[in-house]
Structure 1
Amino acid sequence: MGPLMIVFGMLGAAAAWVMQTETGQTLAAQGCYPHRAALPAPQWSWLMPVLQAMSVMALLVGVAGVWVAWRSWRVTRDARPDPAPAISETTAGRTRFLAMAGLLLSLLFAVGLVATGLAVVLVSPCSAWR
């Protein structure tokens, strides 16, 4: 596994979640509260389909990040460093650690992507939170 794949495994799902939440909240805020006045429904008819499509795309990127992280972990889990390696030869342990961290982070953010996607489907962007 190359270093870019390991980085994608660590940060792909997190980046997808950040993009989904930030873009979705920005669009919903502009579509439902245009001049600091709450609207009963979004002013744009395309808002809900766009938010749902963004959620699906973010989930796909997140699942890809989980898959890459899992694959990186599977490739590196059997790699063992020498008992007394030179300082420049300790990459097997580092790579294994990064692959495991990527797997845990990707799984965590994949759960966040599912929760955020469910919120888009179940809650209207113009609903009052009181």
Structure 2
Amino acid sequence: MASPHASDAHAEGKASAPVSLRALWFGLLAAPLAWSAQELVCYYLASRLCRLRAAGYGAELALRLSPSFLIVTVITFLIALAGAWTAWSNWRKVRDVRRESNLHPREIHAERSRFMARCALIFNVGFLGAFVFMTSEFIVAPLCGT
């Protein structure tokens, strides 16, 4: 037979955030940081490739370095997708946490978790769109402006 205190503990557990702070931060920051890393590394690779192409090293170097753009983009996109999946699962865990007007400290943490999960969803949608837009640049635009 369950004690009355067990149901109170379950009710308090429902009010507390069921998501770790580490998972919330990963969901919030994975996509923006992955996109930033992809942009910085690809910018470096493109500037290096264009500088060497202008110096006369030509097509052989371009063929060797071009797969590196794809590798960097795939790895960082997978990190961003992991962040998006984490953000979605965090949101699903905290979206039904009850809200009350007189907030207990545990409910304040639940509100923080709900806010961070919602922001993470918004960030991930935006940055996954940025990945698609910036990756299409490799197909549409010439690499060295020629």
TM over 0.5: yes
After the TM superposition, which parts of structure 1 deviate over 6 Å for at least 4 consecutive aligned residues? none
Residue in structure 1 matched with residue 118 of structure 2 by the alignment: 100
Distance 1:48 1:124, change over 3 A: farther
SS of alignment partner, residue 144 of structure 2: coil
Identical counterparts, % of pairs = 29
2:138 matches 1:120: yes
* 1:29-44 equivalent positions in 2, closer than 5 A: 29-34=47-52, 37=54, 41=59, 43-44=61-62
Residue in structure 1 matched with residue 97 of structure 2 by the alignment: 79
Tell me which of 8, 16, 25 is aligned to 1:7: 25
By how many angstroms is 1:101 displaced? 0.3
Of 6-15 and 84-93, the range deviating more from structure 2: 84-93
- CA–CA distance in structure 1, aligned partners of residues 128 and 114 of structure 2: 21
Counterpart AA for 1:31: L
SS of alignment partner, residue 78 of structure 1: coil
Q: Which has the higher helix share?
A: 2
- CA–CA distance in structure 2, aligned partners of residues 5 and 42 of structure 1: 44
Distance 1:28 1:102, change over 3 A: same
**Bigger-Rg structure (1/2):** 2
Contact 1:41 1:126 in 2 (8 A): no
Contact 1:38 1:126 in 2 (8 A): no
By how many angstroms is 1:33 displaced? 1.8
State TM-score, norm by structure 1.
0.84
- Once the two structures are superposed, residues 68-125 of structure 1 have per-residue CA deviations (whole angstroms, 9 ceiling, x without a partner) of 1111111110012443123564111111011000000011001111111221234342
By how many angstroms is 1:47 displaced? 1.3
Distance 1:38 1:93, change over 3 A: farther
The RMSD of aligned alpha carbons is 2.2
SS of alignment partner, residue 85 of structure 1: coil
